[in-house]
Structure formats: structure tokens, C-alpha cells
Amino acid sequence: MSLKYKVLGYFLKEKSKAEVHWVLLKWSSYYKDLSTINQEIFQIRTLIFIKTTRFLSDPNFYISPEMKIVISSAFTQVTFGLKIVTFSKFNTIFIAPSSYTYKRVHQFFDGDVNVKTSRVNLSWPAVERGFKISDDALNLCIHEFGHCLIIENSKRNYIGIFNENNFKSYSNTANYFIAQIRAAENSFLRNYGGENLMEFFSVSLESFFEKPDEFSQKLPKLYNSLAQLLNQDPRKKEHPKLS
């Protein structure tokens, strides 16, 4: 483990790290496959995210520590190869007890990223489904956090979340496949990814983490571009980080 994580881990309680460990052994297939050292790093990064994030809910809906860990682990999973350990803008997460709607909007949502309030909204039942079924390329937390990463990357003035060259390369590759989806020439990624680059990124992330072998076989150029962007390859289960 690097000195950076040794120092960060020193300020975190062993009890807290142990709690994260046992919760994620139950909930996260990604975490379970990591080496012991990478699990320790994952615990530290997850706890930092929890400590820098405000979790809200309806007055009568209790947010348990386990729920916070599960949701936060999705962020840690997506960013495990990156330097970012928390959001700078979207540091409030609202957890709803069920699907929800907005005034004057005749549609129910399981999750969304609200730019006006800088808030991520998640329906807990949908979060649960995303983790309990880990191989269907549907994970609400990964999807919504993907939106946050794209938005925050575009808002940072100096150093972005992603390497600039890697992001340009990914964007060019993504635009090609977005056109394929719109032309009904792609059967692997969900059609929703054809909406725009941000939706395509989130849809790609879900498949990247939940169907990495099939993804790399069917769309190798896109898979490799995404792996470079995130600096990790989920097929390398114990040590997914590339550098």
C-alpha cells in the first residue's frame, strides 16, 4: 500500500474499515474479487467519500450505515483507478424510499442528477436491484455517478477528473458507437446510450463493470478506450488498476 493510503488509513477507525469490509463482502462482487491490499485501499476511499458526502432522505425513511456504504462503494468502484476520491459539486445524495416524481412532470424516476441543487437522487429499491443482480449491466448508482463525473470533469478549470487526451480519445470512439446505436446497428449496449455522450458514458460504465468479458469481446476498441480513461480493467479482478 502506498504511503498516501497508509497516512489516510491511520486517521480512520479500524472498526469503520471492518464494517465497510463486511458490508461489501455481502453486496459488492467487484470488492470481493480484489486483493487484500486493494480491499484495504477500497475501504479507505469509501470511508472518505462517506465523510465528505451528505446523505438525506424523507423524514420517515431511515438511512442505515450499510446503505451509505453500498452507495458510496459504487463511486469508489468507478473511480478506483483515478485520483479523485470524492465529488466537489455533487456532495449531497438524497435516498428515496421508492420511485419519485417532480411537480408538473408526469413521470416516475429511480434516479437523477439535479444540476440546480447539486444533488444526486436515488431510489433505494433500485439501488438494491443494481447490486443484488450484478451481471445485467443495470446499476443505478454507477449510472448516476457516471453523469456526475462527466459534469464535474467539464466544470473543472484546471485539472480535470480524466486525462485530457484519454477523454478526447474516448469521446471520439463513443460518438462513433452513439451513431451506431441510433442507426440500430448495435445490439450490445442499451439503446438509451444513444441519447447523448453523457448517457452513453453511463450506459457503457454499467456494461464495463458488470459484463467486462463480453464487452471486451464484442466492442474491444470502446472497451479499451474506457479502460484507459478510467485507468482500470475489471477483468483483472484482483488488481484492476492499470498504473
**What percent of the chain is predicted at pLDDT more than 90?**
88
Q: Over 80: is that where the pLDDT of 8 sits?
A: no
Indicate whether 240 belongs to any domain.
Answer: no
Q: Over 60: is that where the pLDDT of 3 sits?
A: no
Q: Sorting pLDDT into bands at 50, 70 and 90, what band is 12?
A: confident
Rounded to two decimals, what is the model's pTM? Answer: 0.95
Segment 150-176 shows an average pLDDT of 89
Decide if 34 contacts 43 (C-beta within 8 A): no
Indicate whether 235 belongs to any domain.
Answer: no
Q: Per-residue pLDDT tens for 90-119?
A: 999 999 999 999 888 889 999 999 999 999
Indicate whether 236 belongs to any domain.
Answer: no
Indicate whether 83 belongs to any domain.
Answer: yes
Q: Structural domain of residue 219, as residue ranges? A: 3-230
Q: Per-residue pLDDT tens for 122-134?
A: 999 999 999 999 9
Indicate whether 109 belongs to any domain.
Answer: yes
Q: Over 70: is that where the pLDDT of 64 sits?
A: yes
Question: Tell me, what's the pLDDT at 157?
Answer: 56
* Domains held by the chain: number: 1
The CATH number that applies at residue 19 is 1.10.472.150
Answer with the residue of higher pLDDT: 55 or 2: 55
